[in-house]
Amino acid sequence: MRIGINTWVWVSPFRSENFNLLPKVKEMGYDVIEIALDDASIIDARLLKKMLDDNGLEATVCGAFGPSRDISHEDPAIRKIGKDYILEGIRFAEKIGSNLFSGPVYSSVGKTRMISEDQKKREWQWCVENLRDISKTAQASGITIGVEPLNRFESDMINLVDQAVTLIHDVNSPVYKIHIDTFHGNIEEKSIPATIRKLGKGMLGHFHACENDRGTPGTGHQDWAGISSALKDIEYNGVVVIESFTPGAVEIAKAASIWRPLAPSQDELAREGAKFLRKTFCN
């Protein structure tokens, strides 16, 4: 297993001016930097690829799914915006040498409503149709797409890994894998280790190792020993990434309800988090 950290720990949006994060992330002991793709137009993908190589880092890419990036929306124009954004994310991942684009690809973050069963079925079908179309580009590019369940306060569509598995089965394409984030799982799953083991080998495509409060892993009440054991049982050999957010980044902090600092500093969260992940998942 390799360990990684998301750029949202420090900045949002991530742009070319922030490439100085790469040597810092490497010095802190990470193998991977996860690029949060708020806006691909403000990132020089060619230069980023060179800096990744120069610093001996791998990259993963995660999506930022605001209100207009929603492939299950009732408005076809918004569905198209969401689809185009995911396709752009796939192309960006390919440019920087990442084999992964991941996140809550099925809907926008913060869409929480009481809707009829008929409306749920319509939105599910729009989602399935779009993901099937998207899969052709992803497969041609060699990109895996991670489907990330969100907690009930951030989505009314997919909260459980079981629901994400159902979606992947309905889409029926090998490019889709499960993306577990332990912050969301801590709210929704009965047992994160049991959920991991139920997935079995080959179905888990990406993993966010997040403390119950989004602070430094190892400082809260997550069952890290059980989680690590379960990942080894299913022979997961992907990346384990810290995703947290700086309260200084207004838009993403609001979306993630980050109202206070989660560690004495973002650098300390990252540095201590790297030590904890290495000790917990790489021994």
pLDDT of residue 221: 98
- The string of DSSP codes covering 174-202 is TTEEEEEEHHHHHHH-S-HHHHHHHH-TT
Phi, psi at 62, each rounded to 5°: -120, 150
CB 60 within 8 A of CB 241: yes
Residues known to be catalytic: 148, 243
Region 205-211: what's the mean pLDDT? 98
State the sign of the Cα–Cα–Cα–Cα dihedral 249, 255, 261, 266.
Answer: negative
Does pLDDT of 256 surpass 80?
no
Residue 167: which pLDDT band, with cuts at 50, 70 and 90?
very high
Residue 145: which pLDDT band, with cuts at 50, 70 and 90?
very high
Tens of pLDDT, residue by residue over 89-135, are 999 999 999 999 999 999 999 999 999 999 999 999 999 999 999 99
Does pLDDT of 4 surpass 70?
yes
- The pTM of this model reads 0.96
Query: If DSSP codes are grouped into helix, strand and coil, which group holds residue 26?
Result: helix
Q: Which residue has the tokens 């918004």?
A: 78
pLDDT of residue 53: 98
Sort strands 100-103 and 32-37 into parallel, antiparallel or unpaired.
Answer: unpaired
Does pLDDT of 260 surpass 90?
no
Residue 255: which pLDDT band, with cuts at 50, 70 and 90?
confident
* Structural domains present in the chain: 2-281 (3.20.20.150)
